[in-house]
Structure 1
Amino acid sequence: MADNEVATRAPESDAQETPQKEAEGSAIPGDTKAQEGPSMGEHCVTDRPTPSGEVPTGELTKLGDVDVYIAKPSDYPHAPSKLLLLLTGGTGMQSKNNQLQADKYASEGYLVVMPDQFAGNPAPTIAIDEPENKDFSWLESSKLKIAEAAKSFRIDMWLAYHTPEKVLPLLHKVIEAAKEEFADAIANGGGIYGVGYCFGARYILILAGEHSDTALWGQEQPKDEEQGGAKKEPLLKVGAVAHPTMVTKDELEAVKAPVYIAAVKDDSLFSEEDVLTPGRRTLEKNTVEHEVKVFEGVPHGFAVYGDYDDAKIKQDQAQAFAEMLGWIQSH
């Protein structure tokens, strides 16, 4: 296992700047405290600017009656390919940046299936206009705080709807349909590969795990397993994820397929103390092949395709893609 860790605090998101004093306990301007309960940051629901001149080349279609974006290598089906399931953050399948991300993997020889895991209901995006004058009055500051609270509430309500009970059956339908539609690619790769970002990273880890609740996989629970019987084996051959959100310790500990994790130092949405560290100990105990890279000085969401002015974020974004690609290529 390779493990490169650094000890510098990273901002929660470059888009989450507070108008007055910084959040209590923060070491970097713009950093925010972790919210109680499941939530996502600005990075998970808002795209970065799309690099100039880039246009997606894949197609929107359906698999298992679920909307999907499919990106194919230029020489497929004349040359063999491998099937890659790509799961996005809250901006979803219709995001041009996510489509371009799928195209990047397709250009490396993968047949990429990116499903609409939100059933036409991506995370709400609410624009909040800050006053041009940064010397906020009490009234302006209060209005801004109310707007931020309303936005957070809408996102939390959206998350309360898009639970594993809703998302996993959709993914199961897509996987089952892909087994028929792209049997050649799955056979060529010896299984299904998976990559995920933010919200979608959690589900790649779940699909890479061994679980007993088959109802969550789009199947009825057998009567003899109602009390917690045989476990469902991983649906993925290998997985690579970047800055997961809302992952539980149990979900990470259930992983059985080889997995690469690109994490962000001091990420309140993927706690190193509560989730990552105990999860890694279990992966090591279970001799599950894994690699963890912790990036410093970048916002959660940095690995999602999109343009940044900061040269370091651009460099680390490219590095995360190269390492995630290299991980799945090596398996």
Structure 2
Amino acid sequence: MADPEIATKAPESDAMEDVDTGTPLEPKPEAPAATPEVPAGAGQGEGSLFPGDTPAQTGPALGEHCVKDRPTPFGQGPTGEMSQLGGVDVYISKPNDYPHTSSKLLLFLTGATGLHSENNQIQADKYASEGFLVILPDMFSNDPLPGTPTYAEEKDVSLLDQIKMKFAETSKSFLIDMWLARQTPEKVLPIIHKVMDAAKDEFADAVASGGGIYGAGYCFGGRMILLLAGEKPDTVAWGQQQPATDEEAGIVKKGPYLKAGAIAHATLVTKDDFEGTKAPLSFVCVENDQLFPDDVKDYGDKYLKENNIENEFRVYPNVPHGFGVVGEYEEASIKVAQGQAFDQMLGWLKSH
């Protein structure tokens, strides 16, 4: 497999095409709508922290690998423990020799599969085995994506949910769009901040050892890492709406909240999310990725370089979105790319 290349000019994203079978269809009488209306723009980059922002995607908001785990590698399983920080459920994975040997604190933010995904937990364990004390929070507290392990363990499936799930069999994107419309930075960032504040007290030694908190984010979690890496108006940093004008009294900028971050195949990122970035960032990107389109990626690359923010963008060809998370693939080339992506992110975090 070809080595991933440093992105300078990535190819344009392929547009999704509808398949026309050429078979004429009989007209059907219209029926009244029987399902809730999906909010306009749901799951397509709406809910940006910045006024006037445009959606990050014109295609699907989350891919199959964002919402469904690949088979867990044979013989592997989580080695960390479930706990709570700041009243939020978390998965904690520690190096074997902690606390006898100093460790850096790593905030690990997942895709939509969330807290109880064994693959996510094993991925966190991989960083712990390399000397990081890893905190994986439940960003979607009390509102996991239906169909994920977190949902199965934490939610009682009501009759309404059963109806929704039945509908989803014929419209698979419906529940995802409805769920994703609720997972705005305004909701998610305060949860993350609670965990980070509690971790600073609980694991002050690890924070001091690294001179701050490090971050690794995959898919949905990738955008959250990007936001945490920036200096933004205080209300924005906590996930609330930015003031209407910069001249409003009392505006105080805070952040970055991370010393350095590594991001793999991010989703829902907008151009404005890069504004104010201060922490060094490494990006694992998928070639022709509709979920992190070239115009957004290229804008971010240019913005960070122009503002002298240390960064790297590496594009991996012939891999699916979500490939960087632990999971089995038949293609040996994807397994190789998994290892390369992890090495890229690990190397970046260790060197900063």
What TM bracket, shorter-length normalisation? 0.7 to 0.9
- Residue in structure 2 matched with residue 247 of structure 1 by the alignment: 269
The superposition leaves residues 164-194 of structure 1 with CA deviations (integer Å, 9 ceiling, x where unpaired) of 0110000000000001000000000000000
Q: 1:175 aligns with which of 192, 196, 200?
A: 196
When residues 286 and 4 of structure 1 are mapped into structure 2, their CA distance, relative to the original with a 3 A threshold, is closer
When residues 97 and 19 of structure 1 are mapped into structure 2, their CA distance, relative to the original with a 3 A threshold, is farther
What are the residue-to-residue correspondences of 1:128-167 with 2, within 5 Å? Answer: 150-167=171-188
The answer to whether 1:312 aligns with 2:327 is no
- Residue in structure 2 matched with residue 290 of structure 1 by the alignment: 311
The answer to whether 1:78 aligns with 2:81 is no
The answer to whether 1:207 aligns with 2:228 is yes
Q: Is the 8 A contact 2:168 2:175 kept in 1?
A: no
- Residue in structure 2 matched with residue 97 of structure 1 by the alignment: 119
Aligned sequence identity (%) = 59
When residues 71 and 9 of structure 1 are mapped into structure 2, their CA distance, relative to the original with a 3 A threshold, is same
Query: Aligned partners of 1:195, 1:268: CA distance in 2, in Å?
Result: 21
Q: Is the 8 A contact 2:104 2:133 kept in 1?
A: yes
Q: Secondary structure at the match of 2:82?
A: strand
Q: Is the 8 A contact 1:238 1:257 kept in 2?
A: yes
When residues 37 and 64 of structure 1 are mapped into structure 2, their CA distance, relative to the original with a 3 A threshold, is farther
Q: One-letter code of the match for 1:121?
A: D
Q: Is the 8 A contact 2:217 2:224 kept in 1?
A: yes
When residues 63 and 18 of structure 1 are mapped into structure 2, their CA distance, relative to the original with a 3 A threshold, is farther
Gaps of 5+ in 2: 22-55, 149-166
The superposition leaves residues 146-177 of structure 1 with CA deviations (integer Å, 9 ceiling, x where unpaired) of 96762212111101111101100000000000
1:196: Cα distance to partner? 0.5
Query: Aligned partners of 1:59, 1:182: CA distance in 2, in Å?
Result: 15
Query: Aligned partners of 1:58, 1:19: CA distance in 2, in Å?
Result: 45
What are the residue-to-residue correspondences of 1:217-296 with 2, within 5 Å? Answer: 217=238, 229-273=251-295, 275-296=296-317
- Residue in structure 2 matched with residue 26 of structure 1 by the alignment: none
Q: Secondary structure at the match of 1:186?
A: helix
Q: Secondary structure at the match of 1:161?
A: coil
RMSD: 3.0
When residues 173 and 147 of structure 1 are mapped into structure 2, their CA distance, relative to the original with a 3 A threshold, is closer
What TM-score do you get using the length of structure 1 for normalisation? 0.81
Q: Secondary structure at the match of 1:328?
A: helix
The superposition leaves residues 50-75 of structure 1 with CA deviations (integer Å, 9 ceiling, x where unpaired) of 00111111000000000000000001
- Residue in structure 1 matched with residue 40 of structure 2 by the alignment: none
- Residue in structure 2 matched with residue 109 of structure 1 by the alignment: 131
1:227: Cα distance to partner? 5.0
When residues 215 and 202 of structure 1 are mapped into structure 2, their CA distance, relative to the original with a 3 A threshold, is closer
Q: Is the 8 A contact 1:9 1:297 kept in 2?
A: no
1:277: Cα distance to partner? 1.0
Number of equivalenced pairs: 294
The superposition leaves residues 255-281 of structure 1 with CA deviations (integer Å, 9 ceiling, x where unpaired) of 2100000111111111111x1111211
- Residue in structure 2 matched with residue 3 of structure 1 by the alignment: 6
When residues 233 and 225 of structure 1 are mapped into structure 2, their CA distance, relative to the original with a 3 A threshold, is farther
The superposition leaves residues 191-228 of structure 1 with CA deviations (integer Å, 9 ceiling, x where unpaired) of 00000000000000000011114265179999x98557
Query: Aligned partners of 2:240, 2:58: CA distance in 1, in Å?
Result: 32
Q: Runs (4+) of structure 1 moved beyond 4 Å?
A: 4-12, 16-21, 146-149, 218-222, 224-228
Q: Is the 8 A contact 1:9 1:296 kept in 2?
A: no
